[in-house]
Amino acid sequence: MTDPHVAGRAETYDPLTLSSTTPLPGLRRVEQIMGTAIGLDVRDASVSPAALDEVFAYLRDVDRRFSPYKPDSEVSRLIRGELEETHVSSDLRAIMSLCDQVRRTSEGYFDIRAHRPDGRPDPTGLVKGWALEKASRILEAAGARNYCINGGGDIVAGGEPAGGEPAGGEPAGYGAAGVEPSGSGVAAGQAWRVGIRHPFIADRLAAVLAIRDGAVATSGAYERGEHIRNPMTGRAPEGLVSVTIVGPSLTLADAYATAAFAMGSSGLAWVAGLPGFAGCGVTTDQDASHARLVWTPGFERYFAESPPAQED
């Protein structure tokens, strides 16, 4: 769950969406939920506005139930010890189980019990990614095949921004190519462009990614500074100031980004061993000098253009 004072670290990077002269198919809407801006961009002309209503109603319900900033939420009651783990809802049990899975996979670097002095579980580090991934399934059930959900820098993208209706009727599978809508100016075959914000320079991008049918999550210092700590040492991680994970699941990508960032300089090597996931990061020397972009093997396929040069 996002802290209400934290801005997003990644954004959809599609200049066409900013042009008032370029007609685009589908629907777009932004609401403030979970303490951050959540934007839906659906390029399938057949999707009803009711589908967006359903998604936002679902996300507001998740926020009501699982926000640590709402004192009467289920998560707040769990943290205070008013609820035991054996008595929580089925959704929260599923979230807790995923947290335990990531704790094992990360060898304890993502641990929902390690960052509280009282040892009470706080699963909110996984909730937003889980909720946005569930939201994408609501859109798909409503017929969306070409869409992007951006929740404070955590992104789920399906299909292509060209949108339109699938060629030949119903698509053969998730994210099937769509026919370019008339007059849209968006060529079929383009991917969603996702800009990863530079951790040091607010108006600069560290990289631009091309994403189809995948998820992007970024963790780093940014505005909150040293809010993520290495649970093994209790200190802020060193050597890595931003890490971005791309993969098939936003739930896991979000949690993996947190774990990799907590590991510091060894984080990307760990990411390289995660099946189906890849990552990039901005590293520095111990004195925060010589920032440069590095990535795991196979991440090159996600760069919108040729891989950028390392930054000095």
Higher pLDDT, 222 or 47: 47
Higher pLDDT, 199 or 259: 259
pTM of the model: 0.83
- 310 within some domain: no
Burial 136-160 (b: 16+ CB within 10 A, else e): bebbeebbbbbbbbbbbbbbbbbbb
Residues 86-119 pLDDT 10s: 999 999 999 999 999 999 999 999 999 887 788 8
- 55 within some domain: yes
- What pLDDT score was predicted for residue 189? 76
The CA distance from 305 to 253, in Å, is 23
Higher pLDDT, 61 or 200: 61
Residues 183-216 pLDDT 10s: 345 566 789 999 998 877 777 888 999 999 999 9
Instruction: State which of 5-14, 131-140, 165-174, 264-273 shows the largest mean pLDDT.
Output: 131-140
Q: Which of 120-124, 207-211, 234-238 has the lowest mean pLDDT?
A: 234-238
- 121 within some domain: no
- Bridge partners for 246 per DSSP: 216, 278
- 241 within some domain: yes
DSSP percent split of the chain into helix, strand, coil, nearest 5: 30, 20, 50
* Tally of domains within the chain: 1
The CA distance from 244 to 268, in Å, is 10
- 34 within some domain: yes
- 180 within some domain: yes
- Bridge partners for 28 per DSSP: 41
- 269 within some domain: yes
| CATH of residue 154 | 3.10.520.10
The parent domain of residue 48 ranges over 10-63+126-302
- 74 within some domain: no
